[in-house]
Structure 1
């Protein structure tokens, strides 16, 4: 007995019946039949026969009686004029609520005639339309069909379901295809020949369409629409409508391909169950309100009785019609709405459906749907080549410090480093780094040994990095702003014996009491000498240069080991295209623990440019940073989109334009639409914008996409082509290339692939794989993307719980595991919530059971998590909401608890009151005098808005650092009032 629930636990194929949809253009659901009368026809006699027949069939609906038209065409039957006239009649729509049928007799000057019949599928199915043609042409007698309609079937159908079908409009832009907004109702046609088999054509085709659609849309339960005769159609019925069916197919792996086809056949026969209107609506909601692909099951025309046009325009964006070619061979015709699907995408889809059909038709007993191959060998080779850049990488592998030495020799007196009015030339930077290196060697630092660098954004940071490389060691950047426990973990995990740290850390034991020996930069300067083991027995370019730690899903950060040659290759791949050279000025804006800084530091110093070190508090203030850019005449700027949004707002208020000629975006997805304002001020010929996709494990950057006003207008998500020396694959879960435009997991190969995860052999083996298509290795990114036909990559987000927030890559599971370490918490969920802008993006946590103090939980988490990973809110719940499958129901999570639990006490003083009002307007929550700005959901972007709102209201300005040092209304008001 068939199930009647919407999506049964076993997800078997299911059928949902009703009238065909009519919410879109009437032509989408009109079909037509054309019969050639070689000896001509008596129009008067034919009109009389037509009237007699239709009154017998439909005499009880006089207002909807079919119409007969006769017309002479002053041209021969095989002329272009005749062909155009027939096509016009075949594709002239008929409203579902109007006449039941339209008949047109076209009589040609040389004698023959064409009879064209047009009907809406809601009124007549294909067999009925053919029957009318047979009666009018004398092949059948109309008396044989009197009183045999399908009215009882209509009466038995669920009224709500029929209503929803009639109101549905199965349309919408498809992510893996491009459409033409100006195409209107125009439909394209694609035809693919198929091999003959003894399979049930309709059922096998429906299963093939669902399988291909599931791969394209990354769905285990794709929904396929079907238009065809109603199940159990009464024998000889005339006027039976075509049923609208939805097939929910199960591709989860629980069925063989044969079982899938058998269940689909059962559903098409009317034994797949029924649903009511509510269940139908829920199923349609699962598809996002649209059904991408549908099948017309009229069956091939036989007997040469005429030409059938199954749909005037496609009822679904992709409408699949199995049929027969002129020579009788089986073929697949795809009608595609040009508004939704371009010809190339439709052609690929048709080719893959045909290939899937042939494999399903001859499937061995143990074949499962996942075994079906969509791409043949030729297309597989094409997809492999598509992710490779046309330009090859020039140059040989080199060490970072060797390339820097060459720049010193070329321009020893050029300024290499600037910070707060102090500068070092290339020769001075080289000499100072040499002294540091000698001091490290005197302390026993060995080749390949890892040395921690826990310094803020000062010249010493860059000097120390270069010194570690000169000592043939490996530097490990450690941001001093990170919690002490996290720094201690890094020191222990990297087995650091020496850490170069500033005064704050050198005056006490290293955080956590680890084994590391802490040395100040000034001690290296004092005790070092320029003598050292210069270049003898040094490791080669393939040896590690640095280890940078990224978030880890187990709650433990993981170290990524990157060799010298990768960094040099990155500069070789971009130098000519970006025109990088000694005339440029770069900024070091980002944390040394964020791999974007690798690009900033070595991008400048290995091309002979000047590097301006941006102090931390200046990086927190867009106004001060903008002043630095103008003062230093910076030409190359590297920004996360979130930071650049702040900078644009600060720049807009200044009359003087910046000298920036190149802006490189990285670290997080770019929404190009807000950049239109930037182009108004900085045209494309003055300032080039480049969006780069990258991964720490593949050395900062992988692709590059020029962002023009066009990309800004269209909101393009392209991150461009692979850099020379890098290459891309987009693969499915079995490691097979997916079709062009179809999402899969991004794999990156070539010159940027890191060596390993430090001391994580199992994780390294899972993520750093042997390249399946060429020599070398690839990194399995965990990112979702698709390759476009021109080889550009679109980045579509993460496959797992990893997210990017203001440039930092974050494993939400790491935060969750930190929360679960609290003994009062038994269950936790962490989600990234976002507003329409970057400032509204934040991490929210939910914990159970309720009863704990969220502030205390947050304080405990702050000891282990850096600021960018700390949840903005922690909401206690009795239990976490779960789905029917026992998974976290993200949609069931309540609005985060952002308001303080205690009653709000009004701030005292006029300034404090005004400041609280500003915070409330920006954060959207009540604010008390002692509430922490950042615990209320504040972040650096909101901090900028607070400063702007205070300026607009005529309130005193304050340095941005004061908000971080005094993050309460009372504290900040006290600082401002004393300035």
Structure 2
């Protein structure tokens, strides 16, 4: 398929007259196309000199204007302000634009020669075409197509680029007119390991009949191509194509294509500084920054849990008492202390006590299985695990001692590891105080604010919640376990406590927004911070209807445990929600973001690459994992202070305005309800089971931003003589994995499906095991009551869990249920006239039959 049109601009002699040129055009057209629509000459005056920018813009505008329907050719004569001046060196410009289906580029040049008087119109031969094409490319065209493909591949992050290449007609007469030349497809394979020689050996092929040609067309070496990248169009500069072209000509044949770089040294430097912040936030120890708040406002409320509120002075005193107890138990500076406590005033006081003792706290979520907690504590080498703060009270005061520097470790939070061994991230005091200082002014954080501590201490979002409140003089409200699982109860708490700063994952916030919509009173939050997982901004429109942007600011923050919770921030507006923006904003003051290729070089602006974070938030590394630390925490060649960069493993693009778009993970790591997990860790736990000889793990769902639908399924091959029962396999995994990592199903297979290369073939894995004994009548326990409620509840479970049938003995959690699905079941039950299903009840009676019986008793 030819391009829509061709254009050519010709500079004419100063002596050219409109009348002579119009006559020449008319005479030629009558000879070439008798009886058809003939072009006429249009003359336009440009009130600017021929060499001016205004004249250049006018020429470009005329060249891009479409040819009128049914016409082959448009001819426009542009006369300039300085053209008729005495001694003018240049004449007018003739802009010729041809319909691509009628005239090709060479035909347009023939027309121009006739109108300039260099060729007699009788020498020209109009042809209807088409003619056979010569698909052989000369070295120049092949190199240019290769260079364009490599450059576009970098911008679009793809290893397969198809380029439309103009090719000449064979046996074409010297002065022929028509759409005679054609187009071939240059399919460039840019896969890892491919060399310059292999790319330059690529032969173009004719497009198949009916095949749409690639939208990317080989361009002149001095013009830009506009290519789709994401939701916008960004220009691929011609000089970058020329840069790659030069490298192709000068490189050895064995040079890897990945070594070619479209950016000049100056452009690379510009990209490295695009996502950097010159500001340097204040770095202190956490306990020192807290002490400043105690001194400034000792009697102000610091911490609320239920009916208990502690002032700053009371919280400080409680932490001092616990720090004395830690010392009495042998804790010394640098020791690691496990904290296995529910969200409570004692949890926050114990965290502060560990820091006052110049030790390092390791949160161990009491909701995780005991075996999991023991493994984590053993891996970290904790000296003491605190499960009951009472064991630390009543001890003599510890001796005064100087405290460590702001750069000393404050806490270790564990993230999922592909080897089955969670990675402990060591974060220093200075990173946390720098985070709070970086956003204090922009977010308007002050002692007037009330925050919530909603998240587990083992999830680093809690670091932001706890210290964001206490280091700015605000009040922190502890949200208990069951309230976090009930959007209605949490909403009531927000209203009751007049919470002004709220932090949520997008998944949890979607449930809260639904509760807010149904409630009589709305929350009074002035700032909502969303983070922990990618945000789909479109569902926020409903929130904006009730909470206008001038009263409640929504901020989307991208962050990583290894870079201290948050890295970037973007205020989300109604316009962003309408556009479905994926922007996560600009780096925080003191943080920096770069987007690099596999060789550590900056990618072009708007091109995808690995997000690499530097600056004030980069952690000290992984606990007792020097090899992994060296791999992921790399030297920063631009930092005179010698700080390191963190290679995130996230895919993103840095736009020309300095904002970052997050595009997901490069590796197999996924987010499940805000938690970062490696499927490899789940597989490792399964393979540790003596009853399992092979295992595979799949993660599906999560489409359209629905984090609740993310589902983990496992497939195992039983070991000889093990019996092949998946139940004990899943039960063992549940003892070693936190709830969000336990597979919804374990399916037993005789062998795992493999590709020809011996690798797992996920496409050939069967659907996860189906349920049995579908409910066609009420469960026996509910038989004394009407059949409707049990059947209605079964239908709700099917709708939410995405299964075809539910049996009375089926367990909600075994079916892949999670806390977000539990909330949906409760909401649907109320909408369909059933009694509400409190999350606590679902934990107590998780099977359909038992839950139906409990609800029937509740109804009576």
Q: Aligned match of 2:771 in 900, 908, 912?
A: 900
Aligned to 1:241: 180
Q: Aligned match of 1:372 in 260, 283, 304?
A: 260
Q: Measured at CA, do residues 234 and 872 of structure 1 come closer, stay the same or move farther in structure 2, by a change above 3 Å?
A: farther
Q: Residue 154 of structure 2 contacts residue 604 of structure 2 at CA under 8 Å; is this kept in 1?
A: no
Aligned to 2:223: 333
Question: What's the secondary structure of 1:836's corresponding residue?
Answer: helix
Shift of 1:812: 1.9
Aligned to 2:390: 522
Q: Aligned match of 1:781 in 620, 645, 648?
A: 648
Q: Measured at CA, do residues 886 and 202 of structure 1 come closer, stay the same or move farther in structure 2, by a change above 3 Å?
A: farther
Aligned to 1:29: 5
Which structure 1 residue ranges, 5 or more long, are not aligned?
1-18, 22-27, 56-64, 158-198, 285-289, 296-319, 323-331, 502-519
Question: What's the secondary structure of 2:594's corresponding residue?
Answer: strand
Q: Hey, what's the Cα distance between the residues in 2 that align with 1:781 and 1:232?
A: 57
Aligned to 1:6: none
Q: Residue 819 of structure 1 contacts residue 825 of structure 1 at CA under 8 Å; is this kept in 2?
A: no
Shift of 1:637: 0.9
Shift of 1:845: 2.6
Aligned to 1:163: none
Q: Measured at CA, do residues 29 and 663 of structure 1 come closer, stay the same or move farther in structure 2, by a change above 3 Å?
A: same
Q: Residue 185 of structure 2 contacts residue 206 of structure 2 at CA under 8 Å; is this kept in 1?
A: no
Question: What's the secondary structure of 2:700's corresponding residue?
Answer: strand
Kindly report which structure 2 residues correspond to 1:402-481, keeping only aligned pairs within 5 A, or say none: 402-481=288-367
Q: Aligned match of 1:836 in 701, 704, 712?
A: 704
Structure 1, residues 454-480: CA drift from partner, whole Å, max 9, x if none?
111222211221222222221110011
Q: Residue 131 of structure 2 contacts residue 170 of structure 2 at CA under 8 Å; is this kept in 1?
A: no
Q: Hey, what's the Cα distance between the residues in 1 that align with 2:147 and 2:371?
A: 55
Q: Residue 772 of structure 2 contacts residue 807 of structure 2 at CA under 8 Å; is this kept in 1?
A: no
Q: Measured at CA, do residues 857 and 276 of structure 1 come closer, stay the same or move farther in structure 2, by a change above 3 Å?
A: farther
Task: Establish whether residue 558 from structure 1 lines up as the match of residue 423 from structure 2.
Answer: yes
* Structure with larger RCO (C-alpha < 8 A, sep 6+): 1
Shift of 1:857: 3.8
Aligned to 2:88: none
Structure 1, residues 116-148: CA drift from partner, whole Å, max 9, x if none?
765433343222333355467664566766597
Q: Which moved more, 1:556-565 or 1:230-239?
A: 230-239
Question: What's the secondary structure of 1:738's corresponding residue?
Answer: coil
Q: Aligned match of 2:220 in 314, 321, 324?
A: 321
Q: Hey, what's the Cα distance between the residues in 2 that align with 1:436 and 1:889?
A: 54
Kindly report which structure 2 residues correspond to 1:175-254, keeping only aligned pairs within 5 A, or say none: 200-230=139-169, 238-252=177-191, 254=193
Kindly report which structure 2 residues correspond to 1:18-57, keeping only aligned pairs within 5 A, or say none: 19-20=1-2, 28-31=4-7, 36=12, 38=16, 41=20, 47=26, 50-54=29-33
Task: Establish whether residue 67 from structure 1 lines up as the match of residue 33 from structure 2.
Answer: no
Aligned to 1:659: 524
Q: Measured at CA, do residues 132 and 645 of structure 1 come closer, stay the same or move farther in structure 2, by a change above 3 Å?
A: same
Shift of 1:483: 1.7
Q: Measured at CA, do residues 589 and 236 of structure 1 come closer, stay the same or move farther in structure 2, by a change above 3 Å?
A: same
Q: Residue 555 of structure 2 contacts residue 569 of structure 2 at CA under 8 Å; is this kept in 1?
A: yes
Question: What's the secondary structure of 1:248's corresponding residue?
Answer: strand
Q: Hey, what's the Cα distance between the residues in 2 that align with 1:79 and 1:764?
A: 63
Q: Which moved more, 1:436-445 or 1:898-907?
A: 898-907
Q: Residue 30 of structure 1 contacts residue 93 of structure 1 at CA under 8 Å; is this kept in 2?
A: no
Q: Measured at CA, do residues 400 and 815 of structure 1 come closer, stay the same or move farther in structure 2, by a change above 3 Å?
A: same
Aligned to 1:392: 280
Kindly report which structure 2 residues correspond to 1:566-965, keeping only aligned pairs within 5 A, or say none: 566-774=431-639, 775-822=642-689, 823-847=691-715, 849=717, 852-875=724-747, 892=763, 896-897=767-768, 899-904=770-775, 906-908=777-779, 909=782, 910=786, 911-925=789-803, 926-965=805-844
Aligned to 1:16: none
Q: Residue 71 of structure 1 contacts residue 107 of structure 1 at CA under 8 Å; is this kept in 2?
A: no
Q: Measured at CA, do residues 232 and 688 of structure 1 come closer, stay the same or move farther in structure 2, by a change above 3 Å?
A: farther
Q: Residue 46 of structure 2 contacts residue 78 of structure 2 at CA under 8 Å; is this kept in 1?
A: no
Q: Measured at CA, do residues 695 and 88 of structure 1 come closer, stay the same or move farther in structure 2, by a change above 3 Å?
A: closer
Aligned residues: 827
Q: Hey, what's the Cα distance between the residues in 1 that align with 2:632 and 2:649?
A: 9
Q: Hey, what's the Cα distance between the residues in 2 that align with 1:439 and 1:675?
A: 47
Q: Hey, what's the Cα distance between the residues in 2 that align with 1:946 and 1:76?
A: 70
Q: Measured at CA, do residues 33 and 686 of structure 1 come closer, stay the same or move farther in structure 2, by a change above 3 Å?
A: closer
Aligned to 2:87: none
Q: Which moved more, 1:74-83 or 1:200-209?
A: 74-83
Aligned to 1:124: 103
Q: Hey, what's the Cα distance between the residues in 2 that align with 1:497 and 1:263?
A: 63
Q: Residue 825 of structure 1 contacts residue 847 of structure 1 at CA under 8 Å; is this kept in 2?
A: no
Shift of 1:533: 2.2
Question: What's the secondary structure of 1:845's corresponding residue?
Answer: strand
Q: Measured at CA, do residues 675 and 893 of structure 1 come closer, stay the same or move farther in structure 2, by a change above 3 Å?
A: farther
Q: Residue 130 of structure 2 contacts residue 180 of structure 2 at CA under 8 Å; is this kept in 1?
A: no
Q: Residue 874 of structure 1 contacts residue 896 of structure 1 at CA under 8 Å; is this kept in 2?
A: no
Question: What's the secondary structure of 2:713's corresponding residue?
Answer: strand
Question: What's the secondary structure of 1:468's corresponding residue?
Answer: helix
Aligned to 1:165: none
Structure 1, residues 548-577: CA drift from partner, whole Å, max 9, x if none?
110001111011111112111111112222
Q: Residue 741 of structure 1 contacts residue 789 of structure 1 at CA under 8 Å; is this kept in 2?
A: yes
Q: Residue 29 of structure 1 contacts residue 120 of structure 1 at CA under 8 Å; is this kept in 2?
A: yes
Q: Hey, what's the Cα distance between the residues in 2 that align with 1:340 and 1:691?
A: 19
Q: Measured at CA, do residues 588 and 105 of structure 1 come closer, stay the same or move farther in structure 2, by a change above 3 Å?
A: closer
Q: Measured at CA, do residues 53 and 417 of structure 1 come closer, stay the same or move farther in structure 2, by a change above 3 Å?
A: closer
Q: Residue 66 of structure 1 contacts residue 102 of structure 1 at CA under 8 Å; is this kept in 2?
A: no
Q: Residue 223 of structure 1 contacts residue 246 of structure 1 at CA under 8 Å; is this kept in 2?
A: yes
Q: Aligned match of 1:533 in 365, 390, 399?
A: 399
Structure 1, residues 610-663: CA drift from partner, whole Å, max 9, x if none?
211111011001011111111111111111110010000001111222221111
Q: Residue 121 of structure 1 contacts residue 241 of structure 1 at CA under 8 Å; is this kept in 2?
A: no
Aligned to 1:308: none
Kindly report which structure 2 residues correspond to 1:133-148, keeping only aligned pairs within 5 A, or say none: 133-134=112-113, 139-140=118-119
Q: Hey, what's the Cα distance between the residues in 2 that align with 1:900 and 1:593?
A: 34
Q: Residue 874 of structure 1 contacts residue 897 of structure 1 at CA under 8 Å; is this kept in 2?
A: yes
Structure 1, residues 259-313: CA drift from partner, whole Å, max 9, x if none?
53x425xx3xxxx4456459x67xx8xxxxx63x321xxxxxxxxxxxxxxxxxx
Task: Establish whether residue 968 from structure 1 lines up as the match of residue 836 from structure 2.
Answer: no
Structure 1, residues 164-218: CA drift from partner, whole Å, max 9, x if none?
xxxxxxxxxxxxxxxxxxxxxxxxxxxxxxxxxxx94422221211111111112
Structure 1, residues 222-263: CA drift from partner, whole Å, max 9, x if none?
222223434675776653533233222133354543553x42
Task: Establish whether residue 353 from structure 1 lines up as the match of residue 241 from structure 2.
Answer: yes
TM-score normalized with structure 1 length: 0.77
TM-score normalized with structure 2 length: 0.87
Q: Measured at CA, do residues 74 and 500 of structure 1 come closer, stay the same or move farther in structure 2, by a change above 3 Å?
A: closer
Q: Which moved more, 1:913-922 or 1:435-444?
A: 913-922
Shift of 1:888: 5.1
Q: Hey, what's the Cα distance between the residues in 2 that align with 1:42 and 1:294?
A: 33
